[in-house]
Amino acid sequence: NAGVTQTPKFQVLKTGQSMTLQCAQDMNHEYMSWYRQDPGMGLRLIHYSVGAGITDQGEVPNGYNVSRSTTEDFPLRLLSAAPSQTSVYFCASSYRGTNEKLFFGSGTQLSVL
């Protein structure tokens, strides 16, 4: 049981490039989410999903896309990277929703030059 697996751990992009951050969980969790962590600002929700085929926006969705074609996977796409998207990104999941423990991935440190 690997839990929540995130790749890559580190990534450097140039402004305007696109990329996908991968997230997978093997705990049969319905709820999955993406956060960004910036110094002094805590964790801010980007997008979330309550099940396969269902996604919705969080607090800071602009510049990001998500899809949930399977229960296990929830990739985050940066469409055209900007320096303001330099951050640490965490994927997190829970069994059913937000009244339960969140399991976090190990994070992706992204730098946009």
Partner 1 sequence: GENVEQHPSTLSVQEGDSAVIKCTYSDSASNYFPWYKQELGKRPQLIIDIRSNVGEKKDQRIAVTLNKTAKHFSLHITETQPEDSAVYFCAASFNNFNKFYFGSGTKLNVKP
Residues in touch with partner 1 (CB under 8 A): 31, 33, 35, 40-45, 48, 50, 56, 58-59, 90, 97-102, 104-107
DSSP characters over 10-78: EEEE-TT--EEEEEEESS--SEEEEEEE-TTS-EEEEEEEEETTEEEE-SS-TTEEE--SSSSB--EEE
The smaller minimum CB distance to partner 1, of residues 12 and 15, is found at 12
Q: How far is the CB of 76 from partner 1 (least distance, A)?
A: 16
The smaller minimum CB distance to partner 1, of residues 18 and 62, is found at 62
